[in-house]
A = this chain, B = another copy of it.
């Protein structure tokens, strides 16, 4: 992990860009974090639009967490932003655009092609990032995962024991195979659902929430479309992480 830039944002947040091999990422820490006062960490997931495009929303979440005394970090997803594309993923995205333009239903096969290879590639990268982040003296743990492509969150919640709480956004396609993984997740979960999300199947999201094996799981459904998550929903999610990480 190589830091490539460092700047101080107002509100006492230190923002550092880094690379992890070929993968760009960003780490935000409360200025107060130090080796003698290490802080918990939330991995900030995001959709496949690229870090640069997602930056404004990510830094907002990072500032909020820093105010609660929690560090946050994110990395670019495979095939997104400046990272090399791979053919099968490009093909699946093209198929998705075509199906949407033609107003056709999105088939299970297409959802599998879009999501499963992404999960398989991304999850080990987030785990490698976690290895590197936890070596920093100012990052102590515990660790949470928040948002982004929900299947990445499900897989991480299942396979990465250092993640002890997850906030998931039921806002992207979920392959049927992920329901089986969801049943085996046991960490506390905070699941956001936008009730009128135009790109999301509400019943599938409710079924997925039902499937999770966690004894503590909360579903917070709010009005509005995919990007309309109200500010107070962010406050409640922050409360969830404070309860579990602090």
Contact = CB atoms under 8 A, between A and B. Distances in A.
Interface of A: 195, 206, 209-210, 214-223, 230, 232-233, 235-236, 239-240, 243
Contact of A232 (B214, B221, B232, B243): B243
Nearest to A243: B232
Contacts of A220: 218-220
Contacts of A219: 195, 219-222
B206 A230 contact: no
23 contacts: A195-B210, A209-B221, A214-B223, A215-B223, A216-B223, A217-B222, A217-B223, A218-B220, A218-B222, A218-B223, A218-B232, A218-B233, A219-B219, A219-B220, A219-B221, A219-B222, A220-B220, A221-B221, A232-B239, A232-B243, A235-B239, A236-B239, A239-B239
A233 B165 CA distance: 17
Please give the count of copies of this chain that the complex contains.
2
Nearest to A214: B223
Contacts of A195: 210, 219
Q: 3 closest A-B pairs (Cβ-Cβ)?
A: A219-B221, A218-B222, A236-B236
A200 to B, nearest CB: 15
Contacts of A215: 223
Contacts of A206: 206
A206 B222 CA distance: 12
Nearest to A222: B218
A217 B233 CA distance: 11
A216 B210 CA distance: 24
A193 to B, nearest CB: 8
Nearest to A219: B221
Contacts of A210: 195
B230 A216 contact: yes
A6 to B, nearest CB: 35
Contacts of A221: 209, 218-219, 221
A216 B243 CA distance: 26
A221 B193 CA distance: 11
Contacts of A232: 218, 239-240, 243
Most buried by B among A209, A221, A230: A221
A195 to B, nearest CB: 7
